């Protein structure tokens, strides 16, 4: 069993949600589910450097295949974007959902399922984009609001095949990272998110956040590589340290 690391591998990461998640979970033990694990950056760090028994779940088969190639000993499970999660009740002591809920077509239903699979008193670690003055820059909404421009830019940056795999092949129930059936990336007001959590049986423990100007930096960063991308990542990190307005980070306990 891995021993907890005293130093967060995400201390200087531009996405502050990973540092927040690490702070909440690294000292814990027991079974942990990283729901919506994506490419597995957070999941594999928890698996390799903490006492948690980690499992990852995601609707995207390609993401899971990539994790298996890089870290074959991490248990993984593909899940549907809606409906029942394939885990027993009270199966986990903790669950992380880092920038996942905003993609779900039924946020209340998903949280109800998380409540079911968490043990009583279990910890949910959650991050979502916050509704604020620069929410209109959310790049995940561009494919719906400006589909022609989005297609042109994405193909130019990543190629026609990558565009087809992410936005035309809907076999995983996803269009890009957005669930089919959902046409807007939800940016949450704090009161709305806390009310949603309370309605599904969660009691908030910690509420904080990060960033303000990061969308102005993130959008060009998606199109660049090399030194310009590294500079933008550094600026995003600084923005996350200085401000608390663009993302919401919450820990909440399952109320029996």
Query: What is the distance between the alpha carbons of residues 116 and 129, in angstroms, rounded to a whole number?
Result: 24
The predicted-structure confidence for 179-232, as pLDDT tens digits, reads as follows: 777 778 899 999 999 999 999 999 999 999 999 999 899 888 877 878 998 999
Would residue 37 count as lying in a domain? yes
Establish if 9 belongs to a structural domain. no
Whether 66 and 160 share a structural domain: no
The CATH number for 121's domain is 3.40.50.150
Total of domains in the chain: 2
Question: What is the mean pLDDT of the segment spanning 133-162?
Answer: 82
Compute the average pLDDT of residues 71-93: 94
Q: pLDDT band at 244, cuts 50/70/90?
A: very high
The predicted model gives 86-102 an average pLDDT of: 97
Q: What is the pLDDT of residues 24-47, one digit of tens each?
A: 999 999 999 999 999 999 999 999
Range of the domain at 147: 139-175
d(C-alpha 120, C-alpha 65), whole Å: 32
Q: What is the mean pLDDT of residues 231-245?
A: 95
Determine, yes or no, domain membership for 4.
no
From first CA to last CA, the distance across the chain in angstroms is 30
Same domain for 47 and 171?
A: no
Residues near 140 by Cβ (< 8 Å), separated by ≥ 6?
103, 176, 177, 178, 185
DSSP letters, 219-240, are HHHHH--HHHHHHHHHHHHHHH
Q: Looking at the structure, do residues 104 and 31 belong to the same domain, yes or no?
A: yes
Does 37 share its domain with 155? Answer: no
Cα–Cα dist 184/182, whole Å: 6
Answer yes or no: are the C-beta atoms of 131 and 155 closer than 8 Å.
no
Same structural domain, 129 and 85: yes
Positive or negative torsion for Cα 74, 80, 81, 87: negative
Residue 72, pLDDT > 70, answer yes
Q: Are residues 126 and 110 in the same domain?
A: yes
Q: Which residues, at least 6 apart from 178, have a Cβ–Cβ distance to it below 8 Å?
A: 103, 140, 143, 185
The mean-pLDDT minimum among 93-97, 100-104, 251-255 falls in 100-104
Query: For residue 10, is it within any domain?
Result: no
Q: Are 41 and 19 in contact (CB under 8 A)?
A: no
Residue with the bigger pLDDT between 121 and 135: it is 121
Residues 155 and 241 in one domain: no
**Predicted confidence (pLDDT) at residue 234 exceeds the cutoff of 50:** yes
Minimal CA–CA distance to 8: which of 17, 16, 54, 19? 19
The answer to whether residues 166 and 227 belong to one domain is: no
Of 175, 200, 226, the residue at which a domain comes to its end is 175
Q: Is residue 21 part of a domain?
A: yes
Whether 103 and 149 map to the same domain: the answer is no
**Are 237 and 14 within 8 A, CB to CB?**
yes
Sheet holding 76-78, edge to edge: 76-78, 51-58, 29-35, 92-98, 118-129, 247-254, 202-210
Token duo for residue 113: 């399922």
Please check whether residues 35 and 104 belong to one and the same domain. yes
pLDDT of residue 77: 96
pLDDT of 5 > 70? The answer is no
Residues 164 and 201 in one domain: no
Q: How far is CA 250 from CA 50, 137, 194, in A?
A: 21, 23, 9
Q: Pick the last residue of a domain from 121, 156, 175.
A: 175
Rounded to 5 degrees, φ, ψ at 106 are -135, 85
Question: Has residue 4 got a pLDDT over 50?
Answer: no
Do 150 and 86 lie in a common domain? no
The per-residue pLDDT of the chain, averaged, comes to 91
């Amino acid at each position: 069993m891995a021993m907890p690391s005293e130093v967060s591998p995400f201390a200087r990461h531009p996405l502050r949600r990973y540092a927040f998640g690490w702070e909440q979970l690294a000292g814990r033990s027991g079974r942990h589910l990283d729901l919506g694990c994506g490419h597995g950056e957070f999941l594999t760090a928890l698996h390799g450097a903490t006492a948690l028994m980690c499992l990852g779940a995601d609707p995207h088969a390609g993401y899971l295949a990539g994790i298996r190639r890089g870290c074959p000993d991490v248990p993984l499970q593909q899940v549907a974007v809606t409906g029942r999660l394939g885990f027993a009740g009270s199966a986990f002591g903790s669950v992380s959902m880092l920038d996942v809920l905003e993609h779900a077509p039924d946020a209340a239903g998903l949280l109800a399922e998380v409540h079911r699979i968490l043990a009583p008193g279990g910890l949910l670690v959650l991050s979502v984009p916050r509704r604020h003055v620069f929410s209109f820059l959310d790049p995940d909404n561009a494919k719906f609001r400006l589909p022609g421009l989005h297609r042109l830019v994405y193909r130019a940056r990543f190629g026609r095949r990558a565009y087809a795999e992410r936005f035309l092949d809907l076999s995983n129930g996803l269009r890009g990272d957005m669930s089919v059936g959902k046409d807007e990336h939800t940016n949450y007001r704090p009161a709305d998110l806390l009310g949603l959590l309370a309605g599904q049986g969660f009691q908030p423990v910690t509420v904080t956040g990060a960033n303000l100007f990061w969308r102005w930096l993130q959008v060009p960063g998606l199109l660049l590589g090399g030194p310009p991308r590294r500079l933008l990542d550094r600026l995003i990190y600084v923005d996350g340290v200085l401000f608390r307005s663009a993302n919401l980070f919450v820990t909440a306990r399952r109320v029996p």
